[in-house]
Amino acid sequence: MEKALNAPIQFLKGIGPKKARSLKKIGIETVEDLLYYFPRRYEDRTNLVSISQLEEGPAQTIRAQVLARGERRSFKRRGFAITEAVVADKTGKVTCVWFNQPYLKDYFKVGTDLILSGKVGHYGSKLQMNSPEFEIVEPSREGGLDINRLVPVYSLPENTTQRYFRKIVKSALDECLPSLKDFLPYDIRMRNNLLNLAKSLINIHFPEDSHSRIEAYERLSFEEFLLFQVPLALRKMERKDKLGIAHKTEGALAEDFMNLLPFELTEAQRHVLSEIKSDMASPLPMQRLLQGDVGSGKTVVAVIASLWAIQGGYQAAFMVPTEILARQHFDKVSSQLSVLSCQQKQIKVALLTSSADKKEKNRVYKEIKSGEIDLVIGTHALLVETVGFKNLGLTVIDEQHKFGVGQRALLPGKGPNPDVLIMTATPIPRTLAITLYGDLDVSTINELPPGRLPVKTVNFSKDEKRKAYDIAKRELAQGRQVYIIYPVIEESYALDIAGAKKMHARLSDNEFRGFRLGLIYGSMPEKEQEETMGKFRDRQIDVLIATTVLEVGIDVPSASCMIIEHAERFGLAQLHQLRGRVGRGSAQSFCVLVSEAQTEEAGARIGAMIRYSDGFRIAEEDLKIRGPGEFFGKRQHGLTELKIANPVTQMQLLKKCREEAIKLVKEDRFLETSQNLALKEKLLQRFPEYEKLVVVG
């Protein structure tokens, strides 16, 4: 059966090589891909609306016949074609229009029977359907896949009709389902009242009614979630098999450091530290995710954890994604620990980045290997084979989403099962984090240090840009500093975006004449980036013009205003990360968005930025706007494979799958029993990299 499911799609009746190439564009290469290519919506064609019942507003579906067709050109936009068709049923007639699709006129021959679905609006005093989806009804198809039922509608490539696609899906179902083996164990299906696989696939594509569609949706969502959760449960169980380091967490080194801090730790920081301390004292290797908003104080927590490792004779490594951030952490941590060194053990901190010269790198390599360096802060440079530790006891990985899964595993591999602390300033709701990072324990810092004022966020249109500059000048007049962020470096005529380089020159000569302006961007040599950032930190630059290189890192308390140009071009999480670069001092800070939101999604992002300052609420909104696949990205393995399940709207189902996955691996660690073999086979088919987790030995 698996062989039939994995067969190339071109061998299915009615397809062939040419159509197979077209279907490949939407990810359909095998018969199984076709069966798991789910409808994006359904049309209820059991009770179509008559033309006389059409109302302005929501999308409606009618069945009508073409009375007349035509094409005209727009007077406002040269070369812009408008296709029209007047259609009628027994109750009346309505005009349908499509914009800049002149080829459509060939479909609308007088007398053609159509199903049309779209939004209805007024054009003068008459109702009009704007750009409706349409389908030609063949008399012979009455009562088939297209009429008098809930009809699936798919996202399809050009030149592939809905009617044709339904036909090949039905053909695949008829051929494969009689011998289809369900890989979900029977007891799991019974406990959770789930349909079998064959029934689910029939009812997701061609549901008898809404109830059967919902049942199929739940079964297929459960299946996807379980395949995602089982490897997480296996990884967590594998970790428990290993012995790590039981650190000496009771000691004067870390205690003295906390007592010498010039500020009080927040309750959230103390709670997180107690969780980390308990993990590090245990002989099991720690695998903990620490999430907290920008500026919530994750770095000082990581330093205290490092001291717990160091006071027991171990080394700590702190990996960050950029050299700017590595330098900033090194300067800050070295300064904090220099006070401690006077009273306790002399702690040696080193910086390791790719841009360091060969002599400096060799010195650091040697001192790490000998154990002379207690704490090394670095970038990807820590991952090279040349870096070997004498006794690595703790690895801290900051901004974990900037590293791939494979990269994150390399650094801990340089020690005897060291504890791992993964940090992120891109928070997600705690319940979701626990479930999605099932192989990690999750800690959350959900409060900011006392005295921090929320950043005031405002939005101006492109025409109101001068108001944004006025706010910046007011802050500069009070001796503070300003960031101006652009999405590109060179100017893009195609997107009508002013580039950072061009605006640096223009603003220097005009709006910010008399102030000292600097420019920084990602492709600038690292040394120049360092020099520019150093000048901004030392207040030799008043206005720093930058691209998203500033998204991660840099802490300049005197910077109180950020202007983000073309804000609609940035993602919500990215906007929030950028905003976190201001508001780090005691003064009221401002984030000024300059945007021309052309889409509903862009408008929602801008609106969320203005309404919310809490990173967890921002994350919830981002999930709603973008959906889970885009939100988590390719680095969060498993989530991009979700085709139907949604961890945001199906949180309870996801939790249930997590519980089932944990129960499953506890009872059958290697999925060896007969009832679990099909699940194991499917798991290895989808995720072959997990073979080592489910194969004995």
Helices and strands in the chain, H and E counts:
24, 20
CA atoms within 13 A on the CB side of 179: 8
Question: Is 438 a member of any domain?
Answer: no
pLDDT category at 406 given cuts 50, 70, 90 is low
- Residue 614: inside a domain: no
CATH number, residue 489? 3.40.50.300
Q: Which long-range contacts (CB under 8 A, 24 or more apart) does 472-479 make?
A: 472/512, 472/543, 472/561, 472/563, 472/592, 473/511, 473/512, 475/560, 475/561, 475/590, 476/512, 476/515, 476/542, 476/543, 478/587, 479/558
φ, ψ for residue 62 (rounded to 5)?
-130, 160
471 plus 408 within the same structural domain: no
* Res 317 pLDDT > 90: yes
355-376 mean pLDDT: 92
Burial bucket for residue 550 (CB in 10 Å: 0-12, 13-18, 19+): buried
In a domain? residue 584:
yes
Q: How far apart are CA 321 and CA 380, in angstroms?
A: 7
- What's the pLDDT score for residue 641? 61
* 163: confidence class by pLDDT, cuts 50, 70, 90: confident
Q: What sections of 454-599 are H helices per DSSP? A: 465-477, 500-509, 526-537, 572-579
| Residue-level pLDDT at 638 | 47
pLDDT at 493 over 80: no
Whether residue 663 has pLDDT greater than 60: yes
* Residue 72 and residue 95 in contact, taking contact as beta carbons nearer than 8 Å: no
Three-class secondary structure of residue 468 per DSSP:
helix
Neighbours of 538 (CB within 10 A): 9
Confidence of residue 549 (pLDDT cuts 50, 70, 90): confident
Give the total number of structural domains in the chain. Answer: 5
DSSP 27: T
Q: Which position has the higher pLDDT, 38 or 414?
A: 38
> Tell me, what CATH number does 4's domain have?
1.10.150
**470/420 same-domain check:** no
Provide the domain limits for residue 379. 252-282+297-424
Distances (CA, A) of 174 to 148, 167, 207: 21, 11, 15
Backbone angles phi, psi at 221, to 5 degrees: -65, -45
Does residue 531 sit within a domain? Answer: yes
Report whether pLDDT(124) > 90. no
> Which residue, among 500, 588, 492, 586, has the nearest Cα to 546 in the 3D structure?
500
Using pLDDT thresholds of 50, 70 and 90, give the confidence band for residue 635: very low
Q: In angstroms, rounded to a whole number, what is the distance separating the alpha carbons of residues 201 and 36?
A: 8
Residue 399 shares a structural domain with residue 329: yes
Are residues 661 and 229 in contact, defined by beta-carbon separation less than 8 angstroms? yes
Whether residue 624 lies inside any domain: the answer is no
Read out DSSP for 583-616?
--SSS--EEEEE----SHHHHHHHHHHHH---HH
- pLDDT tens string 443-491: 989 887 777 788 999 999 988 999 999 999 999 999 999 999 988 766 6
Domain boundary among 598, 630, 661: 598
Tell me if 570 is assigned to some domain.
yes
Do 15 and 76 lie in one domain? The reply is: no
The pTM of the full predicted model, rounded to 2 decimals, is: 0.70
Contact predicate 202/177, CB 8 Å: yes
Domain C-terminal end among 148, 165, 188: 148
Say whether both 352 and 397 belong to one domain.
yes
Looking at the fold, whether 29 and 55 belong to one and the same domain comes out as no
Whether 263 and 384 map to the same domain: the answer is yes
Joined tokens for residue 466: 């001068």
Q: 370, 400, 424: which is the final residue of a domain? A: 424
| Same-domain check for residues 690 and 670 | yes
Q: Is residue 126 part of a domain?
A: yes
- Please enumerate in sequence order all residues whose Cβ is within 8 A of that of 597, keeping only pairs 6 or more positions apart, or say none: 568, 603, 605, 606
Classify residue 392: in a domain, yes or no. yes
Indicate whether 60 and 170 sit together in one domain: no
What was the pLDDT predicted at 376?
Answer: 96
Question: Do 337 and 355 fall into the same domain?
Answer: yes
What's the chain's average pLDDT? 85
The answer to whether residues 476 and 585 belong to one domain is yes
Do residues 559 and 658 both lie within one domain? Answer: no
Q: What average pLDDT score do residues 286-312 get?
A: 90
